[in-house]
């Protein structure tokens, strides 16, 4: 793409694939669409408030929280964290592959990230069913109320993330649909889901 | 170049997994005869690892490292404010 | 949907005759926009100041305390919700304005109509029935206290807990903005709207808990949800203002078709250059 | 590329008849209304609670006794309302369709009207259900029968807001229509505003238990219902002439 062509194209040409274009200019750039960052940063603040409220409630009943924590399977939490991190790793590499023009590789990596997300959901469902089987539900006590609500709303974000990754997959497969910004935006969102899980793992499972 | 970037990503991923296992192990140390006990050092350790992991993900996976200054500032302020608030509430 | 022909209109009676007289002004849109400002402030006055439904009174009051609540606030509930009976209809004007702009989007009318239907349903449990339950309660102060408690629970649970109507509305609104190619509303508004769906989910446990952050007056189910709702509403009012301003006068459906067509063309043209 | 451009810049005229053109559907919707209105009148006369309207000051025992005594007629009249109450909706949708034909600057008021009518109709559908539930087991605790009766009367009488907002919408749309031969003439706009003003006091029925503003009072009951009846009649003729003119214009155009 020559300079003249670039100036002639409409201002929203960032929608379309322009590999190495921005990176050539300078190292500094915002990956993905700005609107996705509004979403991600806002979500971080909203979830931050949920977690802070969790901590405040915890101080008033810390013994109950600590005892209830014991009924969670820490190892399942660990495995899920590793699955989520791996998923993020795949998706991060998919973005790099896409930027380098390796669309097949990007597609493959996105699928791997997607499958890790599915595994995460399956493990989560198994974990929930074990807890419910032991008689711990939303109404058991304040700890389990938070446990189910926080992991539940996180799971909702995972499902939304899988839908977004599905859209990314669809766009990567068809040359006419490929948009670097979409791949980057989807990845940004997915990493945020990963990061929120890390906070949940630390606060709900590991805090003593 | 591509291999180098991927090597960096892979290194980040390995570090993330490793510190996750460390924090899991840390959590397991705070017990007495099979019962969890309060432990401020363990909590501080877990929270520090949490902050570290969040920052690694944001900087490398979310590419905040090469993002405009306002985003770098915002994410770092969020990290400090959020994890600081959590620790402050815990210690209070 | 009317597709208007751009051929010069022949004088005399013909169906499109009315379209020719369509004025360039946007008076009706501005009336609707101002009605949002006026009536949402009025609703705030009614719900927050007069009737004390926002922030909601506690869910773990005893029956005696509930009767006392209705006694103390009887007069303001009567004034506030009596007023609401008259002004509630103006909430539909806001719906009309949003739907009009959703219909300008390139995604067709499905979600615009879903929006209007979901809100037409939602106005009842989400707003009116809380008022009607409270009005019925203060109508006869000598009513059996257990019935008073029933009306209290029914009113407040419907008010805070009518989740689906609004979640549906948020969902179709977000989807429409995300897929729209005419750029009627900015994309970030879609994401702000998705937070609203999350807050509806976080309000689901109000049916379970009488205390704590997930009760109907709790920090998460009520306070955080309300803060995000206010942010969302301010964004919508602002975005509607811009959308009305930027709408070309005498815009026809054909004009909108052209708008999206030129975008598609621009993108295709760009791909040609990008592929070569 | 240039061929594509031409194709895109001149969108084809869609050959399907557009939705406002269907004169037959409109005519049927119009003529359903007198039938529904007649049934309404029968149900109105048949409901013992309307002759005279029940007083809000009846005690719980009196209310329960009333439902025990008149169970059959309450059921008959309210089942008629339940079946037919929402069948007035096509009539109001006729107004929406005609509003969309107007030369008003945009369709916002038509959509607002639609939204208001949908909620208003739901309220109407709920009120008679409360009466039917009350009459289902008249042996229920009198307190509960009274509660159901109160809710029915309040829902039936007080929430006039939707009707008011819809009427103001229509009036504004008429005023903003600059066409020399508008679909609805100006005085229909004035009439709609007057109707809106006349039903406003009925909202007091949810608050006041005696006098003309109580739900059995002159203003809240007779004036409101009378106004609504006259509104239906006037709008019936206004719509009939609008549809007739539309049919003539379309015939002339084709």
End-to-end, the C-alpha distance of chain A in Å comes to 57
Contact status, residue C99 vs residue C124, Cβ threshold 8 Å:
no
Tokens of D170: 């229509």
Contact status, residue D187 vs residue D135, Cβ threshold 8 Å:
no
Q: Does C175 touch chain A (CB under 8 A)?
A: no
- Read off the pLDDT of residues D209-233 as tens digits, 9 standing for 90 and up: 998 999 999 999 999 999 999 999 9
Q: What is the pLDDT of residue A173?
A: 86
The nearest CA of chain D is from the CA of C29 a distance in Å of 7
Q: What is the pLDDT of residue D37?
A: 92
Q: Does C20 touch chain A (CB under 8 A)?
A: no
The per-residue pLDDT string of chain C (276 residues; one tens digit each, 9 = 90 and over) reads: 444 444 444 344 444 566 667 777 788 889 999 999 999 899 989 988 888 888 889 998 999 999 999 999 999 999 999 999 999 998 999 999 999 999 989 887 899 999 999 998 898 988 899 999 999 999 999 999 999 999 999 999 999 888 889 999 999 999 999 999 888 999 999 999 999 999 999 999 999 998 889 999 999 999 999 999 999 999 999 999 999 988 887 665 545 555 555 555 555 555 444 443
Q: How many C-beta atoms surround the C-beta of residue D140 within 10 A?
A: 17
Angle between helices A103-133 and A142-173 (to 10 degrees): 160
Higher pLDDT, C248 or B65: B65
- Read off the pLDDT of residues A186-199 as tens digits, 9 standing for 90 and up: 999 999 999 999 99
Mean pLDDT of the A117-126 span: 95
Q: Which domain holds residue B34?
A: 2-91
Neighbouring chains of D at 3+ CB pairs under 8 Å are: C
pTM: 0.85
User: pLDDT band for position A19 (50/70/90)?
Assistant: very low
**Chain-chain contact of C273 with A9 (C-beta, under 8 angstroms):** yes
Nearest C-alpha neighbor of D111 from the set C211, A37, C120, C168: C120
Domain definitions of chain D by residue range: 28-246
Q: Does D61 touch chain C (CB under 8 A)?
A: no
Distance of CA C209 to the CA centre of its chain: 27
**Chain-chain contact of B54 with A82 (C-beta, under 8 angstroms):** no
- Read off the pLDDT of residues D230-246 as tens digits, 9 standing for 90 and up: 999 999 999 999 999 88
The nearest CA of chain A is from the CA of B86 a distance in Å of 6
Contact status, residue D198 vs residue D223, Cβ threshold 8 Å:
yes
Contact present, D and B (at least 3 Cβ pairs less than 8 Å): no
Instruction: Give contacts of C 218-247 with A, CB under 8 A.
Output: 219-220, 224, 228
Q: What is the pLDDT of residue D106?
A: 84
> Which ipTM was obtained for this model?
0.84
Answer yes or no: is pLDDT of D152 > 80: yes
Mean pLDDT of the D74-88 span: 91
Instruction: Give contacts of A 145-184 with B, CB under 8 A.
Output: 184
Mean pLDDT of chain D: 87
The nearest CA of chain A is from the CA of C185 a distance in Å of 12
Integer Cα distance of B25 and B49 in angstroms: 12
Q: Which chain C residues are within 8 Å of A50, Cβ to Cβ? A: 202, 220, 224
Tokens of D131: 């009466």
Least confident stretch, A23-27, A167-171, D25-29, D153-157: A23-27
Nearest C-alpha neighbor of C119 from the set D163, D111, D161, D92: D111
Q: How many C-beta atoms surround the C-beta of residue B13 within 10 A?
A: 22
**Chain-chain contact of A50 with C224 (C-beta, under 8 angstroms):** yes
**Chain-chain contact of A199 with B78 (C-beta, under 8 angstroms):** no
Q: Which chain B residues are within 8 Å of A100, Cβ to Cβ? A: 2
For chain A, give me the number of helices (H) and strands (E)? 8, 0
Q: What is the pLDDT of residue D24?
A: 86
Task: Quote the number of domains for chain B.
Answer: 1
Detail the DSSP E strand segments found in A117-191: none
Residue among C29, C268, C269 minimizing CB distance to D108: C29
Mean pLDDT of the A146-157 span: 93
User: pLDDT band for position D30 (50/70/90)?
Assistant: very high
Q: What is the pLDDT of residue A176?
A: 77
The nearest CA of chain A is from the CA of B4 a distance in Å of 11
**Chain-chain contact of A42 with C271 (C-beta, under 8 angstroms):** no
Contact present, A and C (at least 3 Cβ pairs less than 8 Å): yes
Contact status, residue D129 vs residue D173, Cβ threshold 8 Å:
no
Domain definitions of chain A by residue range: 33-206
Q: Where are the alpha helices (DSSP H) in chain A?
A: 3-8, 21-25, 34-60, 62-69, 74-99, 103-133, 142-173, 180-200
Contact status, residue B79 vs residue B55, Cβ threshold 8 Å:
yes
Higher pLDDT, C87 or A15: C87
Q: Does B42 touch chain A (CB under 8 A)?
A: yes
Q: Where are the alpha helices (DSSP H) in B1-92?
A: 2-29, 40-56, 69-91
Mean pLDDT of the D119-139 span: 91
Answer yes or no: is pLDDT of B86 > 90: yes
Integer Cα distance of A94 and A100 in angstroms: 10
- Read off the pLDDT of residues A70-114 as tens digits, 9 standing for 90 and up: 888 889 999 999 999 999 999 999 998 888 888 888 999 999 999
User: pLDDT band for position B78 (50/70/90)?
Assistant: very high
Q: Which chain A residues are within 8 Å of C213, Cβ to Cβ? A: 53, 57
- Read off the pLDDT of residues A127-148 as tens digits, 9 standing for 90 and up: 999 999 998 988 888 899 999 9
Residues sharing a CB contact under 8 Å with residue A100, sequence separation 6 or more, in sequence order: A19, B2
User: pLDDT band for position A8 (50/70/90)?
Assistant: very low
Q: Please identify, in words, the CATH class of the domain defined by A33-206.
A: mainly alpha
**Chain-chain contact of C124 with D122 (C-beta, under 8 angstroms):** yes
């Amino acid at each position: 793409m020559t300079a003249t062509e670039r100036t002639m194209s409409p201002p929203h040409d960032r929608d379309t694939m322009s590999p190495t274009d921005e990176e050539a200019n300078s190292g500094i750039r915002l990956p993905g669409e700005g609107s996705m960052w509004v979403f991600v940063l806002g979500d971080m603040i909203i979830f931050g408030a949920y977690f802070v409220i969790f901590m405040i409630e915890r101080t008033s009943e810390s013994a109950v929280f600590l005892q209830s924590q014991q009924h969670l399977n820490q190892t399942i939490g660990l495995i899920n964290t590793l699955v989520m991190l791996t998923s993020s790793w795949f998706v991060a590499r998919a973005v790099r592959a896409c930027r380098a023009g390796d669309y097949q590789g990007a597609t493959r990596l996105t699928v791997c990230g997607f499958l890790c997300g599915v595994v995460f959901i399956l493990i989560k469902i198994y974990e929930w069913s074990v807890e419910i089987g032991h008689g711990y539900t939303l109404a058991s006590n304040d700890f389990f109320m938070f446990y189910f609500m926080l992991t539940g709303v996180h799971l909702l974000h995972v499902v939304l993330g899988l839908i977004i990754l599905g859209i990314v997959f669809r766009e990567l497969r068809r040359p006419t649909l490929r948009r670097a910004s979409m791949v980057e935006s989807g990845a940004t969102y997915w990493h945020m889901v990963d990061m929120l899980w890390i906070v949940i793992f630390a606060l709900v499972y590991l805090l003593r | 170049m591509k291999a180098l970037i991927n090597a960096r990503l892979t290194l980040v991923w390995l570090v993330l997994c490793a510190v996750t296992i460390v924090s899991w192990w840390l959590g397991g140390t705070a017990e007495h005869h099979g019962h969890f006990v309060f432990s401020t050092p363990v909590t501080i350790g877990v929270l520090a690892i949490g902050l570290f992991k969040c920052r690694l993900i944001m900087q490398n996976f979310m590419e905040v490292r090469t993002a405009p200054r306002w985003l770098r500032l915002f994410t770092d302020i969020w990290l400090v404010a959020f994890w600081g608030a959590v620790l402050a509430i815990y210690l209070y | 949907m009317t597709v208007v022909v751009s051929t010069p209109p022949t004088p005399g009676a013909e169906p499109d005759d009315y379209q020719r007289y369509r004025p360039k002004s946007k008076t009706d849109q501005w009336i609707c926009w101002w009605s949002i400002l006026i009536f949402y402030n009025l609703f705030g006055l009614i719900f927050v100041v007069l009737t004390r439904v926002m922030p909601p009174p506690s869910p773990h009051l005893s029956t005696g305390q509930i009767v006392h609540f209705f006694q103390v606030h009887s007069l303001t509930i009567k004034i506030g919700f009596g007023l609401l009976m008259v002004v509630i209809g103006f909430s539909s004007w806001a719906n009309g304005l949003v739907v009009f702009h959703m219909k300008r989007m390139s995604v067709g009318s499905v979600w615009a109509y879903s929006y209007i239907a979901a809100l037409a349903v939602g106005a009842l449990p989400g707003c009116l029935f809380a008022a009607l339950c409270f009005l019925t309660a203060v109508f006869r102060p000598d009513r059996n206290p257990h019935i008073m408690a029933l009306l209290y629970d029914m009113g407040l649970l419907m008010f805070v807990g009518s989740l689906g109507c609004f979640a549906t509305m948020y969902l179709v609104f977000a989807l429409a903005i995300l897929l729209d190619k005419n750029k009627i509303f900015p994309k970030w508004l879609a994401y702000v709207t998705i937070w609203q769906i999350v807050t509806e989910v976080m309000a689901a446990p109000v049916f379970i808990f009488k205390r704590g952050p997930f009760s109907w007056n709790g920090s998460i189910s009520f306070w955080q949800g309300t803060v995000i709702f206010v942010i969302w509403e301010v964004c919508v009012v602002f975005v509607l203002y811009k959308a009305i301003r930027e709408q070309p006068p005498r815009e026809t459906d054909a004009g909108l078709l052209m708008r999206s067509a030129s975008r598609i063309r621009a993108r295709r043209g760009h791909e040609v250059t990008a592929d070569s | 590329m240039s061929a594509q451009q031409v194709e895109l810049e001149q969108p084809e005229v869609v050959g399907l008849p557009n939705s406002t053109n269907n004169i037959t559907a409109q005519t049927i919707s119009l003529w359903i209304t007198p039938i529904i209105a007649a049934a309404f009148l029968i149900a109105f006369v048949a409901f013992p609670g309307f002759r005279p309207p029940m007083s809000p000051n009846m005690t719980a025992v009196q209310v329960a006794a009333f439902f025990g005594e008149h169970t059959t007629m309450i059921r008959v009249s309210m089942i008629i309302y339940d079946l037919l109450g929402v069948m007035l909706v096509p009539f109001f949708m006729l107004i929406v369709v005609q509003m969309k034909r107007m030369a008003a600057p945009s369709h916002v008021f038509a959509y607002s009207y639609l939204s208001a009518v949908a909620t208003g109709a739901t309220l109407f559908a709920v009120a008679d259900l409360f009466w039917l539930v009350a009459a289902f087991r008249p042996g229920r605790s009198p307190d509960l029968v009274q509660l159901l009766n109160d809710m029915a009367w309040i829902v039936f009488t007080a929430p006039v807001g939707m009707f008011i907002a819809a009427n103001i919408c229509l009036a504004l749309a008429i005023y903003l229509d600059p066409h020399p031969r508008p679909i609805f003439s100006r005085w229909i706009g004035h009439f709609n505003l007057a109707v809106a003003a006349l039903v406003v006091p009925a909202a007091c029925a949810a608050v006041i238990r005696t006098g003309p503003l109580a739900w059995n009072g002159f203003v809240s009951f007779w004036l409101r219902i009378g106004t609504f009846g006259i509104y239906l009649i006037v709008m019936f003729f206004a719509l009939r002439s609008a549809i007739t003119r539309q049919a003539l214009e379309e015939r002339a155009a084709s």
